């Protein structure tokens, strides 16, 4: 990755705005994540959370605004270039390689990161270090026993873990997790929780979640989005007790 010492907040967005026709899906969003942060992004459906992720990763172009990673502006960069700068995301719906095994998939990402991907004249077994790293990463996420099973045959919870593994294989500096626990049944969420808490402390993480257990367990700070704009940002206690948040989520009535 970069040899230049990182300075400034890990991720900063200033004045991000986006419209789909007359519908404003992002309104003047300002965001700042310090290094090592564990921030959660919550909000009702349609609030624009995934849109914000898409804007940050470059999948969507903003109408206005800027994005910085460690004070380097990345607003004009294409999505794959942003990955090279350390900004990586996972997907809410599994976006995996159905016929590749987890080992192949992770090795693929590692080769990509190391710049070995364009090499067509040397066989894969030559790249021992990449394969070792791939296996290590899969072991950390408890996927080593299924590393030779094609992805489409994995259990859903395992696929969700692989979803994170692929992102981690890029050695990101800033990781955007889009509903990592989406659809994972209670029995399997333990491994997922372990994976999230085992994330290296120097990685900055922003995760979208609906599951409040995860949010209050892992987040040090919560950002609440409603209708394309940030409603408020604060510590978990502040957010939990905020009347506006309650209204947005529970329609004004408080249940227990």
Exactly one of 12, 38, 49, 89 binds other proteins (CB under 8 A); which one?
Answer: 89
181-240: contacts with other proteins (CB under 8 A): none
In the complex with other proteins, the residue whose CB is nearer, 129 or 250, is: 129
Exactly one of 63, 64, 119, 198 binds other proteins (CB under 8 A); which one?
Answer: 119
Distances (CA, A) of 216 to 81, 157, 245: 33, 21, 15
Q: Which residue has 């992720």 as its token pair?
A: 53
In the complex with other proteins, the residue whose CB is nearer, 70 or 127, is: 127
Indicate whether 96 belongs to the interface with other proteins (CB under 8 A): yes
Q: What is the DSSP track for 197-222? A: HTS-TTSEEEEE-S-HHHHHHH-SEE
DSSP 4: S
CB 10 within 8 A of CB 33: yes
Q: How many residues bind other proteins (CB under 8 A)?
A: 49
Residue 117 CB, nearest approach to other proteins (Å)? 5
CA triple 97-101-103, angle to 5 deg:
115
DSSP 118: T
Distances (CA, A) of 184 to 92, 99, 156, 180: 11, 22, 7, 9
What are all long-range contacts of 143-146, with beta carbons under 8 Å and residues at least 24 apart?
143/102, 146/102
Stretch that binds other proteins, among 42-50, 64-72, 117-125, 190-198 (CB under 8 A): 117-125
Residue 84 CB, nearest approach to other proteins (Å)? 5
- Strand ranges across the sheet with 72-73: 23-33, 11-20, 64-69, 72-73
CB 94 within 8 A of CB 160: yes
Per-residue contact flags (x/-) with other proteins for residues 124 to 163, judged by CB under 8 A? xx-xx--xx-xx---x----x--xx---------------
162-181: contacts with other proteins (CB under 8 A): 166-167, 169-170
Residue 51 CB, nearest approach to other proteins (Å)? 16
Residue 112 CB, nearest approach to other proteins (Å)? 5
Instruction: Compute the distance between CA of residue 248 and CA of residue 227 in angstroms, rounded to an integer.
Output: 10
Residue 209 CB, nearest approach to other proteins (Å)? 19
Which positions touch other proteins (CB under 8 A)? 57, 79-81, 83-84, 88-89, 91, 95-101, 103-105, 107-109, 111-113, 116-125, 127-128, 131-132, 134-135, 139, 144, 147-148, 166-167, 169-170
């Amino acid at each position: 990755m970069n040899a230049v010492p990182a300075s400034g907040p890990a991720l900063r967005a200033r004045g991000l705005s986006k419209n789909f026709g007359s519908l404003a899906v992002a309104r003047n969003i300002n965001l700042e994540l310090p290094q090592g942060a564990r921030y959660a992004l919550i909000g009702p459906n349609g609030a624009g959370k995934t849109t914000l992720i898409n804007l940050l990763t470059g999948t969507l172009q903003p109408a206005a605004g800027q994005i910085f990673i460690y004070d380097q502006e990345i607003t004009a960069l294409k999505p794959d270039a942003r990955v090279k700068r350390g900004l990586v995301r996972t997907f809410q719906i599994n976006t995996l390689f159905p016929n590749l095994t987890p080992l192949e998939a992770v090795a693929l990402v590692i080769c990509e990161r190391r710049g070995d991907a364009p090499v067509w004249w040397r066989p894969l077994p030559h790249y021992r270090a990449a394969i070792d790293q791939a296996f290590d990463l899969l072991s950390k996420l408890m996927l080593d026993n299924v590393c030779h099973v094609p992805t489409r045959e994995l259990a859903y919870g395992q696929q969700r873990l692989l979803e994170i593994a692929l992102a981690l294989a890029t050695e990101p500096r800033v990781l955007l997790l889009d509903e990592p626990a989406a659809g994972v049944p209670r029995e399997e969420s333990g491994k997922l929780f372990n994976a999230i808490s085992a994330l290296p402390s120097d990685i900055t993480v922003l995760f979208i979640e609906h599951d409040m257990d995860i949010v209050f367990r892992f987040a040090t700070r919560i950002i609440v989005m409603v209708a394309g704009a940030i409603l408020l940002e604060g510590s978990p206690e502040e957010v939990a007790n905020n009347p506006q948040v309650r209204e947005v989520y529970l329609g004004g009535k408080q249940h227990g």
